[in-house]
Chains A and B, each alone.
Chain A
Amino acid sequence: MHELSIAQSIIEIVGQYVTRAEQEQVRRVNVRIGAMAGVVPDSLEFCFAAVIHHTPLQDAVLVMETVPFCVRCHACGQTTESEPGIALCPACGSADTDIVSGTELQVVSIDVDEASGGGA
C-alpha cells in the first residue's frame, strides 16, 4: 500500500547520483528487496513506472533482486531459509534465532548507458 512512496524514495536517492540530464541515460535501477520487507514487487514495479513517466528517468527499468528470509539458529548452528517471518529454526525448531536476511529494502546500483554520454 505504501509502494508509491517507496518508489518516490528510490528515485530521490537515484537523483543524488546522476544529474537530471544524465538520468536519461539510466537504463536500470537495481534494488534489493527482502521477503519480509513488506513490499509487493508487482506493486512496486507498477508504482515505479507511474512515477518515472514523463521524467528524464522514463527509460529506466526497475530490477528487483529478492532476498529470502533466513534465520541463523544458536541451538543447532544452521542458517536456513524460513517461511517469511517465522523465527523458529526450520531445522530444529528452536526459538533462539537471529534473522540474517529478508528485511532488506535497498537501492543497490544503477546501470548507465555510456554510449549516449552520462557518467557521474
Chain B
Amino acid sequence: MSVITIERKVLEKNDEVARQNRELFADHGIFVINMVSSPGAGKTSILERTLETLRDTLKIAVIEGDVQTDLDARRVAKYNVPAVQIVTRGGCHLEANLVREALGSLKLDTIELLVIENVGNLVCPSNYDLGEAVKVVVASTTEGDDKPLKYPAMFRNASVLLINKIDLLPYLPCDLATLKDNALKINPSLTVFETSCTSKQGINAWCEWLMENSRRKPAS
C-alpha cells in the first residue's frame, strides 16, 4: 500500500472564488455583509427597515438567497434598490460561485453597500465564505437564549449579532442578558445590537454602524 499525501482543504474551491469576490468588492469599494440566521428570525424584515432608513443616503444592493421563490427579492424591490434573487432549489446555503453569478446582474460601480441575505439556516452557511467583509448573525428572542450555544460555529464566525424581536421579551421566557452572555462566550469580539422591526428600536444604531463601515473604504 502506498500513501499519496494530499493535505488540502475540502472547500478550497469555494474559498478561492470567495477570495476573488472579495478582491472585486475591494476594487469597487463595496462593503459587503452576509446575513445569516435560522428561518424566521427576521433577516428580511431587518433588511426592509434598513432600506427604509438608508436608501436615500447610501447606495445599496441586495442579493437574496432562498431555497424556493423570489418572494424576498420582491419584498426588497419595493424599496427601489437593485435586488437579485438566488434560488438554491433545495440547497441549504449560498456558495461563493452563486454570488459571483448574481454579481453579473448588478452594476458594481454604483454600489456602496451590498447585503447578501443567506438561506435561513444556522448550520451550513457558516462553512461557506462568500467574500463578504462581515457575517451578521440574527438571533431572535423567540428562539430562546441558548441559541448561540447550540449553533456555535455561526456565532463564532460572525462579527455582528442582531438580537431581534426584543419588543416580544415581556411575553417570552427568553432572558436578554443570558442570550448576550451565551453569544459572547462563543465570540467575545461580537458587536451586538438589539432590534425590533415592529417598534423600530435599535434600527438607527444598526444603520449608523452600516453607514460608518460602508463609507470607510475596505483595506484590500
Kindly state the separation between the CA atoms of A13 and B6 in the bound complex, as whole angstroms: 8
Kindly state the separation between the CA atoms of A87 and B92 in the bound complex, as whole angstroms: 27
Judge whether A49 is part of the interface by a CB distance below 8 angstroms: no
Which residues does chain A contribute within 8 Å of B156, judged by CB atoms? 36, 85, 87, 99
The CB with the most chain B CB atoms within 10 A, among A31, A36, A85, A120, is that of: A85
Within B63-109, the residues touching A (CB, 8 Å) are 92-93
Within A48-104, the residues touching B (CB, 8 Å) are 84-88, 95-96, 99
Closest chain B CB from A70 CB (angstroms): 14
Closest chain B CB from A103 CB (angstroms): 8
Q: Is the CB of B186 within 8 A of A85?
A: yes
The CB with the most chain A CB atoms within 10 A, among B8, B184, B187, is that of: B8
Judge whether A47 is part of the interface by a CB distance below 8 angstroms: no
Kindly state the separation between the CA atoms of A99 and B12 in the bound complex, as whole angstroms: 20
Within B110-153, the residues touching A (CB, 8 Å) are 121, 123-124, 126-127, 149, 152-153
Closest chain A CB from B167 CB (angstroms): 29
Q: Is the CB of B10 within 8 A of A6?
A: yes
Closest chain B CB from A67 CB (angstroms): 14
B-contact 0/1 string along A22-47, CB 8 Å cutoff: 00000100010000111100000000
Kindly state the separation between the CA atoms of A6 and B9 in the bound complex, as whole angstroms: 11
The CB with the most chain A CB atoms within 10 A, among B6, B9, B12, B186, is that of: B6
Closest chain B CB from A92 CB (angstroms): 14
Partner of A109, one of B4, B13, B185: B4
CB-defined A-B contacts under 8 Å, sample of 29? A1-B92, A1-B121, A2-B93, A2-B127, A12-B13, A13-B8, A14-B6, A17-B6, A27-B1, A31-B10, A36-B152, A38-B123, A39-B127, A84-B152, A86-B152, A95-B188, A99-B156, A105-B10, A105-B127, A106-B8, A106-B9, A107-B8, A107-B9, A108-B5, A109-B5, A109-B7, A111-B3, A113-B1, A118-B2
A-contacting residues of B (Cβ < 8 Å)? Answer: 1-13, 92-93, 121, 123-124, 126-127, 149, 152-153, 155-156, 184-188
